[in-house]
Structure 1
Amino acid sequence: MTEPVPVAVPRKGRPLEAVLERVATVADSEDAEATVDQVTSVLRYEKAITKGNQTAEKGSYERLAEYSSPVEPSGPEFTLMRDDREGKPRRIVFDSLTIDLGGVPVHLVGREEPFRALRTHEFALGFDAADLVLEEVVSLGPEGVGDLAAVNERIDPAESDVRVVTGLGDTVYHTLLAEPDTLPAGTDLNREYLAEYEGPLCISPRYERLVEAVLGMDAVENVEFAYPENGQEEEAAIAEAGLGVYLTVTGGTAREYGLVLGEQLFPSETVLLENTVEVADEERIESVRSIISGGLQEETELWA
């Protein structure tokens, strides 16, 4: 039997769903879509249980045994992990699935931090959020970055062998938001405005380095980062600070707080990553990469 090509994937959430949807689209088997739907349904149900929106009749170990198929070794498998919510409840998450792409068996392997697994050469290919690449390895410079081409250009080859191949199109945006009174009349809320701005800029604490990479160090030179208080909604905190950066999909909640939506600074998207050292001269790996990324450059604004 041909050894499968291992690919690191997230264990849960929107990025994993984007990966599974893409894999089902390009898979060889006709039942791939049904298998992916099954995995997605299980994970959404388990998320609802973890958040207290569903009550399970059976215990986590019983449910885990039902979800995983010992009869079909290549079928979906799940595992238990401790969720980071209050009380650290157990949560059932994705573990693995083997599926054929272009005649090559591909083993999707769940990892808490796929990007870091590629950095340590555990995998040649993997999927993770573009945000993490900015937070981890993109060098900070005077100018900011706005697309994945610029991201790859700002990765020091001595720092990492991982590069972005393409995005999967599940895009939300890091967007400039402002309280109307912060903006002078007739002023556009964009990078140019921020470059002249002096004062508080409300962001999520975990995104500080990402915001610095996206905006550039010149733009944040006279900015004082502010953060939401514990339990405070980001939009509410931005309204108090007057200006901020937050991930938005439709911007509906921001408008409820009376905020003006400005420039979409950087698209947050699940991306296909490669470790260039591990991919080089590996024909099967290159084939899998090509199948997964085929046509996506035209479908997503993220490209490399």
Structure 2
Amino acid sequence: MGETIPIAVPRKGRPLECVLDRIAARLDVPALADDITSTLRHEKARTKGTVDADEDVYHRLATYSTVDDPTEPEYTLLRDDRAGKPRRIVFDSVTIPLEDADGISDGTSIQLVGREEPFRALRTHEFALGFDSADLVLEEVVELRPEPLDRIADINVRIDPVDTDVRVVTGLGDTVYHTLMATPETAPPSESIDREFLEGYEGPICIEPRYERLVQAVLGTKTLDGVDFRYPANGREEEAAIAETGLGVYLTVTGSTAREHGLLLGEQLFPSETVMLENTPEVTESVAAVRSVLANGTAETELAVTH
């Protein structure tokens, strides 16, 4: 029996679905990935009340997780942050043999393990490999410098080795952007709404509080001279708060909601993307082989990790 390599993954949402898509493509397990994704989407709909639940959440959890085979997915309960704080079924774990993976033939398996914040689990050396949002890396460990950071490929050079041993291996391509946006009154009449505009701007800029360090890293401290951060009031829609402030940065998919609030979309400042991570000192020969199977040969950004 070969080694089982644990890999930390998100418990739910778009990042987990992106990871499952990558696993399905690299390891040829589309049915498993579809099963997990469809189960979680159905449970999300039940939590939101858009689908009726025939049984209570505990009976459904027992049905999902009463398995004897570790290659079948298991689930757990998480307190949801929606109104009423309902319990929501989320992903817990599954073991996947790598029998047909290129370059691996010794019975090695991987175990996907759900974590609320996989990046932090890697920081504490619980895992050698994991997947999480690039945003969390920027929010926690990248150095703030006068010059901006605008590519995932540049994250590793901004990480102080004293702060963490975790490095970004590759992006998975599920990209949406932190975007600069402004009202017509604030936007320059004959210029673009971009970093160059911000260099000469003095005044308020509205952001989500948890993105303050990320925005500082992405824009660069030099660009933010004279800028005063403002935050949406509790429960206030972000785009509405930006429209009231006149200028802001927010994560956009289509930008339609921003336009509904009369905002003009400016420069796409930084991609919010799921990334593969490694804790460098924990990478053994077996872990490196698994990392190669899951990361190499992609069309997305491949990063050179310093060992």
Please list the CA deviations of residues 231-253 of structure 1 after superposition, one character each: whole Å capped at 9, or x if unmatched: 22111111111110010111111
Q: Contact 2:152 / 2:271 at 8 angstroms: preserved in 1? A: no
Q: Percent identity?
A: 64
Read off the aligned partner of 1:172 and give its amino acid letter. V
Residue 258 of structure 1 corresponds to 262
Shift of 1:49: 1.8
> How many residues of Structure 1 are paired with residues of Structure 2 in the alignment?
297
Aligned mates of 1:105, 1:284 — CA distance in 2:
10
Residue 146 of structure 1 corresponds to 150
Residue 240 of structure 1 corresponds to 244
Shift of 1:69: 4.6
Shift of 1:54: 2.2
Residue 87 of structure 1 corresponds to 84
Q: Contact 2:74 / 2:92 at 8 angstroms: preserved in 1? A: yes
Read off the aligned partner of 1:291 and give its amino acid letter. V
The worse-fitting range, judged by mean Cα deviation, of 266-275 and 286-295 is: 286-295
Aligned mates of 2:70, 2:96 — CA distance in 1:
11
Please list the CA deviations of residues 88-112 of structure 1 after superposition, one character each: whole Å capped at 9, or x if unmatched: 2111100001113424311000111
SS at match of 2:251: strand
Aligned mates of 1:69, 1:221 — CA distance in 2:
57
Residue 21 of structure 1 corresponds to 21
1:126-137 matched pairs, under 5 angstroms: 126-137=130-141
1:174-193 matched pairs, under 5 angstroms: 174-193=178-197
1:212-251 matched pairs, under 5 angstroms: 212-251=216-255
Decide which of 259, 270, 275 is 1:271's aligned counterpart. 275
Read off the aligned partner of 1:226 and give its amino acid letter. R
Residue 119 of structure 2 corresponds to 115
The worse-fitting range, judged by mean Cα deviation, of 60-69 and 120-129 is: 60-69
Please list the CA deviations of residues 185-212 of structure 1 after superposition, one character each: whole Å capped at 9, or x if unmatched: 2111111111111111011111111111
Pair 1:283-2:269 in alignment: no
Aligned mates of 2:26, 2:251 — CA distance in 1:
29
> 1:206/1:189 Cα in 2 relative to 1: closer, same or farther (>3 Å)?
same
SS at match of 1:78: strand
Aligned mates of 1:263, 1:15 — CA distance in 2:
24
Please list the CA deviations of residues 124-157 of structure 1 after superposition, one character each: whole Å capped at 9, or x if unmatched: 0000000000011001111121112321101001
Computed over aligned residues only, the root mean square deviation of the Cα atoms, in angstroms, reads 1.4
Shift of 1:44: 0.8
Q: TM (normalized to structure 1)?
A: 0.94
Aligned mates of 2:297, 2:65 — CA distance in 1:
33
Shift of 1:215: 0.7
Pair 1:99-2:103 in alignment: no
Aligned mates of 2:239, 2:79 — CA distance in 1:
29
SS at match of 1:229: coil
Structure 2 portions without partners, runs of 5+: none
Q: Contact 1:69 / 1:76 at 8 angstroms: preserved in 2? A: no
Q: Contact 1:147 / 1:302 at 8 angstroms: preserved in 2? A: no
Shift of 1:295: 2.3
Aligned mates of 2:206, 2:229 — CA distance in 1:
6
Residue 196 of structure 1 corresponds to 200
SS at match of 1:272: strand
Aligned mates of 2:297, 2:97 — CA distance in 1:
19
The worse-fitting range, judged by mean Cα deviation, of 45-54 and 3-12 is: 45-54
Aligned mates of 2:142, 2:49 — CA distance in 1:
38
SS at match of 2:185: helix
Q: Contact 1:147 / 1:303 at 8 angstroms: preserved in 2? A: no
Shift of 1:302: 7.0
The worse-fitting range, judged by mean Cα deviation, of 155-164 and 52-61 is: 52-61
1:58-73 matched pairs, under 5 angstroms: 58-73=55-70
Q: Contact 1:201 / 1:242 at 8 angstroms: preserved in 2? A: yes
Aligned mates of 2:132, 2:270 — CA distance in 1:
16
Pair 1:293-2:295 in alignment: yes
SS at match of 1:158: coil
Structure 1 portions without partners, runs of 5+: none
Decide which of 207, 213, 217 is 1:209's aligned counterpart. 213
Q: Contact 1:200 / 1:241 at 8 angstroms: preserved in 2? A: yes
The worse-fitting range, judged by mean Cα deviation, of 255-264 and 130-139 is: 255-264
